[in-house]
Amino acid sequence: MLMTLPLDCLFLPTGTVLFSEGDPGDHAYLIQSGAIDILVEREGQEIVLARRGTGEIIGEMALLDHGTRSATARVSAPTEVIAITKRQLDQRISETDPVLRMCLGVVIERYRETLKMVRPDAVAPPPTTVRSLPGPAFDAAVAVLALEREIERGLLRAEFELFLQPIVALRDRRLAGFEALIRWNHPVRGLLAPAAFIPVAESSGLVVQITDRMLREAVSAVRVLLAARGAGEGCADEPLFVSVNVSGHDLVQPGFADGVMQILAEAALPPHHLKLEVTESMLMKDPARAGSILDTCRRHGMGIAVDDFGTGYSSLSHLSTLPITTLKIDRCFVQAMLGDPTSRKIVNTIRLLARELAIPIVAEGIEREAEAAALDAIGCEYGQGYLFGRPMPVTEAIVFLRAMPVPRIQALRAYA
């Protein structure tokens, strides 16, 4: 019985042919339970080569060497498998050691050569099933694979939503802009924060598609916010910005800067309304490459913010060479500074450094008036946190904006 395969977890009855010898390879399969026979047909006779069981992968060869199926896979007992796409497998292989990738290629080539010599009168080994207990590592791998597929489907179904969190000038609490934050409106689990899916999106490379979606929605949101502010009483024409987080995966994409400029051009939005946020640790992975791409973005007029500053390492030597327009102090220092002298000294040191470099600061995670007052007292220009506003949908951000005073032009010039 040959079946058309869905994309996720498959429950296969005995006799199901998962794929046949000579078929093109589109998926590999991770066996969660049951047993699958691997067989070939020679001169009208079936030869069973092996029986694969729980914790094993089948069908990977055609994906790894871009060839056809070298054997047939048929279910010999009720079986549950997880489908693995070529993209998922390629992503994992690309991150392995080059020597290991070479070894995999040699093993596949030798296996295919061996299959050519199989004869009907050959004595086939008895089918065996691996009886190993997969354990926590296996369960974790299955969970990651499943979440990757859910993210892919969520992107196709537009389940990811833009939320905006206000950034204000600490001196007078006037609105300066917003940070774009992502939420996943999961059909089963409800509204999910980034921590529930961004690590897997990063490791799988799917974060590139998420960033593209967020850039487009953030740019569109700025247009809506500018129109809303223009209609509000007492509103002026000073720039309003939105900052969008980008990852290391984004910055290695060919033409990333040109792609962002195209998004801005399509929306007819001047680049100074957009700021790109990059983490300190991500910049340190490849400062030269990141600096080159961010230089291009900066020359086009975009702002560049370093997020979570103070949590990375060896970054001071790059502050003078990277086109940074803003430092964002991590919330862990902000929320501890009132009770921890060391954290307060770190915040003050970062402020002094930023002042020498003429780079304004945004303090993240402000939840108490005392924190805001202390940060203002040491000269921190901008703040972000629950004290000023939680992340909110664009419709709520419009209401929030109309209720806020407009930002001072001198503050916005310093921030641009």
CATH of the domain at 276: 3.20.20.450
* CA–CA dist 340, 392 (Å, integer): 31
The predicted model scores a pTM of 0.77
Which CATH number characterizes residue 46's domain? 2.60.120.10
The answer to whether residues 349 and 356 touch, using CB atoms and an 8 Å cutoff, is no
Does residue 35 form part of some domain?
Answer: yes
Q: What does the pLDDT read at residue 107? A: 72
Number of domains in the chain: 2
Q: Quick one: 264 and 381 in the same domain? A: yes
Of 110, 143, 176, the position where a domain reaches its end is: 143
Task: Give the 3-state secondary structure of residue 256.
Answer: helix
Q: Which range marks the domain in which residue 191 is found?
A: 159-415
Of 143, 177, 210, the position where a domain reaches its end is: 143
Helix ranges (H only) for 131-206 are: 135-156, 198-204
Does residue 3 form part of some domain?
Answer: no
Does residue 399 form part of some domain?
Answer: yes
Q: Quick one: 18 and 82 in the same domain? A: yes
Does residue 149 form part of some domain?
Answer: no
Provide long-range contacts, Cβ within 8 A and 24+ apart, for 388-394: 388/166, 388/167, 388/168, 388/173, 389/165, 389/166, 390/165, 391/163, 391/164, 391/165, 391/181, 391/183, 392/163, 392/164, 392/165, 393/161, 393/162, 393/163, 393/164, 394/162, 394/164, 394/221, 394/224, 394/225
For residue 398, the surrounding DSSP H or E stretch is helix 394-403
Q: Quick one: 86 and 228 in the same domain? A: no
Rg (CA), the chain: 27
Does residue 150 form part of some domain?
Answer: no
Does residue 129 form part of some domain?
Answer: yes
Q: 10-residue block means of pLDDT along the chain (416 residues)?
A: 49 92 88 90 85 88 82 92 85 72 70 66 55 67 87 94 95 92 95 94 91 96 86 50 92 90 95 91 73 92 88 64 88 92 91 90 95 94 95 94 60 38
* CA–CA dist 234, 310 (Å, integer): 38
Q: Quick one: 86 and 190 in the same domain? A: no
Burial, 311: exposed, middle or buried (Cβ in 10 Å; 0-12, 13-18, 19+)?
middle
Of 143, 167, 184, the position where a domain reaches its end is: 143
Q: Quick one: 32 and 80 in the same domain? A: yes
Instruction: Give the other-Cβ count within 10 Å of 90's Cβ.
Output: 13
Instruction: Check residue 32 and report its DSSP letter.
Output: E
**What backbone phi and psi angles, to 5 degrees, belong to 199?**
-55, -40
Does residue 154 form part of some domain?
Answer: no
Q: Quick one: 175 and 73 in the same domain? A: no
Q: What does the pLDDT read at residue 55? A: 84
Q: What does the pLDDT read at residue 155? A: 95
Q: Quick one: 299 and 383 in the same domain? A: yes
Q: Quick one: 235 and 113 in the same domain? A: no
Q: What does the pLDDT read at residue 26? A: 84
Q: Quick one: 235 and 376 in the same domain? A: yes
Q: Quick one: 274 and 136 in the same domain? A: no
Closest alpha carbon to 18 in 67, 86, 72: 72
Does residue 54 form part of some domain?
Answer: yes
The answer to whether residues 304 and 331 touch, using CB atoms and an 8 Å cutoff, is no
* Greatest Cα pair distance in the chain: 91
Q: Quick one: 21 and 164 in the same domain? A: no
Q: Quick one: 101 and 184 in the same domain? A: no
